[in-house]
Structure 1
Amino acid sequence: MYDKIVDILCAIKEDQPELRQSLSPEMDLNNDIGLDSLQMIQFMLQVEDQLNVTIDYDQFDYEHLRSIDAFITFLKSCQPQGQPIYEDAKP
């Protein structure tokens, strides 16, 4: 899942080709990566689409953006859109 999120971030921040090498699981999605508000919306929509998950925005909190790992932990608690969100999950 981490690799997929990195792919999404790199696609959104296409003006920063060096981003992929600098990303780590501890990086803050707002402060370190610097997603603006439009990029954050694009990121969330692409995560939902590409990972087949429905983000519960009632449960979503700024704390979930403190690191890529924290965001992944939050995603694992979200409702799948009919398909598993992890590669090794069984339907």
Structure 2
Amino acid sequence: MYDKIIDILCAIKDDQPELRQSLSPHTDLNNDIGLDSLQMIQFMLKVEDQLQVDIDYDLFDYEHLHSIDAFITFLKSCHSHEQPLYEDVKP
């Protein structure tokens, strides 16, 4: 999941090829990367699409952007797009 988020961030900030080397699990998504509001929307939509997760924006908070690790922890609490219809059915 971490690598996919890094790939998404680098694709959005494609004007900064050096970004990948500066990212770590502790990187602040808001202050260190400098996503503007449009880029933040693109980031969230790409995360939902590529990680196949539904972000619960009612539970989402600014604190989830304090680090990539904090964001991943939040994403793990969100529902996957591909949930089995029955509990005993495995995909």
TM-based fold match above 0.5:
yes
Q: 1:48 corresponds to which residue? A: 48
Distance (Å, rounded) in 2 between the aligned partners of 1:35 and 1:67: 14
Q: 1:86 corresponds to which residue? A: none
In structure 1, the gaps of 5 or more residues are: 84-89
For normalisation by structure 2, the TM-score amounts to: 0.91
Distance (Å, rounded) in 2 between the aligned partners of 1:63 and 1:30: 10
Q: 1:6 corresponds to which residue? A: 6
Aligned residues: 85
Q: List 4+ stretches of structure 1 deviating above 2 A.
A: none
Instruction: Quote the offset at 1:70 in angstroms.
Output: 0.1
Question: Identity across aligned pairs (percent)?
Answer: 85
Q: Highest Rg: 1 or 2?
A: 2
Distance (Å, rounded) in 2 between the aligned partners of 1:5 and 1:49: 12
Q: 1:21 corresponds to which residue? A: 21
Distance (Å, rounded) in 2 between the aligned partners of 1:24 and 1:54: 24
In structure 2, the gaps of 5 or more residues are: 84-89
Instruction: Quote the offset at 1:71 in angstroms.
Output: 0.1
